[in-house]
Amino acid sequence: MIAIARFRRPPRWATGKRIAFRILPAIGLALFADPAAAQLGGSIAVDSDYRLRGYSLTDDHPAVSAQLTYDHPSGFYIDLSALAELSRGDARFLGVIANAGYAKRLSPHLTIDAGVLRSQIRSAGRYSPPYEYTELYAGAFAGPVTARIYYSPDYRYYRQSTLYGELEAGFEPISAWRVSGHLGMLVYLNSASIYDAGTAHKDWRISITRQFGNFEIHTALSGGGPTHYEGLWVHKRTALTGGASVSF
């Protein structure tokens, strides 16, 4: 269904990978220097489909994911997330996403955050390129609203630079229930892949979460567009997904 044009295999240490593999371990070492006051947490989630930015990372199949977070009181943090696809009754490991950064509370209702993310997720579909990229991100939490911008020098294609901006907002209409919304837009900054510079992909999501202490269930309606680009499928259609997670 999808044919990839102009896909070149990146050299072993492309720019984005080099950034990620230098910064991530450095932050990790700094964090573990004073473990007494740090907090380690995690969660395991099962979802009917793992969708990010309007794409299904698991080719519309159910997914199981695990997250680990290590927070230092100084504001430095590191996260690790692993993803597996559940298909035909078997689990297939797809890869990991790691990110590290620094967050600071400027006021009771404003927190800023910046860091670097590396995604090493292989494609679940036969024809699409892997979700391998590095991103530098910066954002702010202002009360219930979160705004963040990401720059990638190698977004899924060698030397394909992109900017992704997202806006999220959430509220609790009643206790333990949360409704949140997400709007995002990815802009291709050059023409190193099948996309022309300036091409934009938009995505959105509305989700409802019910929390029971450490356990929560959630459902989301998400989509994105355009669904076609130069005759190729680039986005899945709108999808309703559901899942559950437990934190520890």
Partner 1 sequence: MIPWRILRWFFAVAVVAAPLAFSQALATQGNSASALPSRQILVMLKVPPQHFRPGAAYGGRYGDAAQLATRRRTAESVAEKNGLTVVDGWPMPLLGVDCYVMKLPDGISIDDAVQKASRDPRVAWSEPMQLYQAQGGGGARAPDPLFPIEPAALRWRLADLHRFATGRGVSVAIIDSKIQVSHPDLSGHFIADKNFLSPEPRTAENHGTAVAGIIGAAADNGIGIAGIAPAAQLMALRACWQVASRAAASPPTLCESLSIARALQYAIDHNADVINLSLSGPPGPLLSKLLSIAIARNATVVTAFDPTLPKGGFPASLPGVIAVADQSLPNLPANVYGAPGRDIPTTQPGGKWYLVNGTSYSVAHVSGLVALVRERRSGARLALARSRMGAIDACATLLGPAHSCDCHCPLSQTTAMGNR
Which of these ranges, 12-20, 93-101, 184-192, 226-234, lies near partner 1 under the rule CB under 8 A?
93-101
Smallest gap from residue 51 Cβ to partner 1 (A): 6
Dihedrals phi, psi of 36, to nearest 5 degrees: -60, -40
Is residue 97 classed as helix, strand or coil in its secondary structure?
strand
In single-letter form, the type of residue at position 24 comes to: L
Q: Scanning residues 178 to 237, which ones bind partner 1 (CB under 8 A)?
A: 178, 180, 207, 209, 211-216, 218, 220
Is residue 134 classed as helix, strand or coil in its secondary structure?
strand
Between 143 and 198, CB nearer to partner 1: 143
Element (H, E) at 182: strand 177-188
**Taking a C-beta distance cutoff of 8 angstroms, is the pair 120, 135 a contact?**
no
Between 15 and 67, CB nearer to partner 1: 67
Between CA 136 and CA 42, with CA 63 as vertex, the angle to 5 degrees is 60
- Token pair of 59, please? 């080719």
Residue 141 as a binder of partner 1 (CB under 8 A): the answer is yes
Q: Scanning residues 50 to 79, which ones bind partner 1 (CB under 8 A)?
A: 50-52, 57, 62-63, 65, 67, 69, 71-73, 75, 77, 79
Between CA 15 and CA 23, with CA 20 as vertex, the angle to 5 degrees is 120
Smallest gap from residue 89 Cβ to partner 1 (A): 4
Between 40 and 240, CB nearer to partner 1: 40
Smallest gap from residue 113 Cβ to partner 1 (A): 5
Among 15, 111, 120, 190, binds partner 1 (CB under 8 A): 111
Of 132, 62, 123, nearest to 98 (Cα)?
A: 132
Among 30, 46, 187, 239, binds partner 1 (CB under 8 A): 46
